[in-house]
Amino acid sequence: MRIGLLGAGFIGTFYAMALQGKRGRDSVSVVYSRTQQAAEKFAKTWNVPHFTTDLQKAIEHPEVDIVIVALPNSLHKDAVLAAAAAGKPVLCTKPLGRTAEEAREMLAAVESAGVFAGYLEDLVYTPKTIKAIKSVLGGAIGDVLWVRSRETHPGPHSDWFWNQEISGGGALIDMGCHCIEIARSFIGKDIRPVEVVCWADTQVHPIEAEDHAIGMVRYENGAMGQFEVSWTFRGGMDLRDEVAGTEGTIWLNHWLRTGMEIFSTKNEADYVAEKAESTTGWLFPVGDEASALGYIDMFDDVLGALENGTAPTETFYDGYVVNAIMDAAYRSVETKKWESVELPIWRGRSNVENIAVRREFDAEHYLVKKERLSDGNTRLILRNKTTGGISQRFE
């Protein structure tokens, strides 16, 4: 496919790396940047035949089959609306909007125009996450009760991230969108998020937005999603997920301590990995960053869906739901209370049963726990169905 890439910065570089790498048959034909120097440099680096500082011209270029929005958050809506008006399929980086209202406008625009749209949430597509989701769908850990997702690092690369008006917030909107969608993917995207409680503060950086946030999302079936995001973490980028189910647990470490470690006393100028803070001491290089961060599988899924006339794994509707959850989180930061997730548009299931389990033991008891002891016996912890009393017996 011939791609019109809107944005020649950090994320645009990762996209070009993925698009013009493994799939092979895709190429960026036009790149747009707000500055001539950045557009020209990007075009030269990635062998892009056309570059421009005119957004409309880039979208309407005859050699553009699909538009990818890789711009600062404040520009997402205008770019998506322009692509939809031009009848071009459009993909948008995360977060979809600065607010759920912006996201809903974008969703309405692409659906009204009848154009294909995909939400570029790369961390749902990491190889480990894809395999873990398949395991969960296969019933390997039973019903998912709790998902903890963490992304922390010393802070983003570009200046606009630190400007609350442009970005829409701080660490929460920058990385909470990843963590929230990861949790939804394990819990079930058809399960409605009900309410959110969140703490956020500015602990280190002299900015208006938060540089650290921790929150919990309660879902209608009783499952919990927990997100931990920070621009105050030192030592590189930490990406980790934990999934707890009724029958098992999954731990995922995507970036630090992933199997490749180097100790060096020599101060090398070589690039180590995204957000790495040092080139000496213990280093944690990443073999293929574009793949490890999910970009390769993301574009394979989204562009493959466009070719096949199917829906991608991540849609604009997903981006809208994530924005609605983050809106509730920001309200909770102010009120210091649980806040409802406002979703005027809900396309998932309703009145879902709670996943709380009561395991039958016999006619009179529920089984609380069964464990093997060091002497070879088995202890059973039981609850009486009538009285609620707890007792134990041995097998």
* pLDDT exceeds cutoff 60 at 269: no
Among residues 305, 308, 344, 348, which one has the least CA distance to residue 118?
A: 305
pLDDT digits (tens, 9 = 90+) for 95-125: 999 999 999 999 999 999 999 999 999 999 9
| Parallel, antiparallel or unpaired: strands 2-6 and 27-32 | parallel
Return the CATH number of 124-290+317-340, one of 3.50.50.60, 3.30.360.10, 3.40.50.2000, 3.10.20.30.
3.30.360.10
CATH superfamily to which 2-122 belongs: NAD(P)-binding Rossmann-like Domain (3.40.50.720)
| Whole-number percent of the chain with pLDDT over 90 | 84
SS (H, E, C) the chain: CEEEEECCCHHHHHHHHHHCCCCCCCEEEEEECCCHHHHHHHHHHCCCCEEECCHHHHHHCCCCCEEEECCCHHHHHHHHHHHHHCCCCEEEECCCCCCHHHHHHHHHHHHHHCCCEEEECHHHHCHHHHHHHHHHHCCCCCCEEEEEEEEECCCCCCHHHHCHHHHCCCHHHHHHHHHHHHHHHHHCCCCCEEEEEEEEECCCCCCCCCCEEEEEEEECCCCEEEEEEECCCCCCCEEEEEEEECCEEEEEECCCCCCCCEEECCCCCCCCCCCCCCCCEEECCCCCHHHHCCHHHHHHHHHHHHHHCCCCCCCHHHHHHHHHHHHHHHHHHHHCCCEECCCCCCCCCCCCCCCCCCCECCCCEEEEEEEECCCCCEEEEEEECCCCCEEEEEC
- Summarised one tens digit per residue, pLDDT across range 155-186 is 998 999 999 999 999 999 999 999 999 999 99
The rounded distance, in Å, linking the Cα atoms of 209 and 206 is: 9
Pairing of strands 90-93, 66-69: parallel
Among 274-283, 301-310, 340-349, whose mean pLDDT is lowest? 274-283
Least confident of 19-23, 75-79, 258-262: 19-23
pLDDT at residue 337 in the model: 98
Mean pLDDT of 263-279: 67
Count the Cβ atoms, other than its own, within 10 Å of residue 54.
11
Residues 242-256, mean pLDDT to the nearest whole number: 93
Omega of the bond prior to 127 within 30 degrees of 0, cis? no
Per-residue pLDDT at 270 = 62
Q: Where are the domains of the chain?
A: 2-122, 124-290+317-340, 365-394
Confidence of residue 279 (pLDDT cuts 50, 70, 90): confident
* Comparison of pLDDT for 339 and 270, the residue scoring more: 339
Q: What is the pLDDT of residue 16?
A: 93
pLDDT tier at 149 (50, 70, 90 boundaries)? very high
Q: Which residues contact 24 (CB under 8 A, 6 or more apart)?
A: none
**Mean pLDDT to the nearest integer, 348-376:** 91
23 pLDDT more than 90: no
Instruction: For residue range 62-104, list pLDDT tens digits in order.
Output: 999 999 999 999 999 999 999 999 999 999 999 999 999 999 9
Mean pLDDT (the chain) is: 93
Average pLDDT over residues 212-234: 97
Determine phi and psi for 51, rounding to 5 degrees.
Answer: -140, 155
Whether pLDDT at 22 is above 60:
no
| Residue 259 confidence (pLDDT) | 72
pLDDT of amino acid 24 = 64
Q: How far apart are CA 345 and CA 271, in angstroms?
A: 44
- Between 11-25, 33-47, 86-100, 119-133, the lowest mean confidence (pLDDT) is in 11-25
Q: How confident is the model at residue 207 (pLDDT cuts 50, 70, 90)?
A: very high
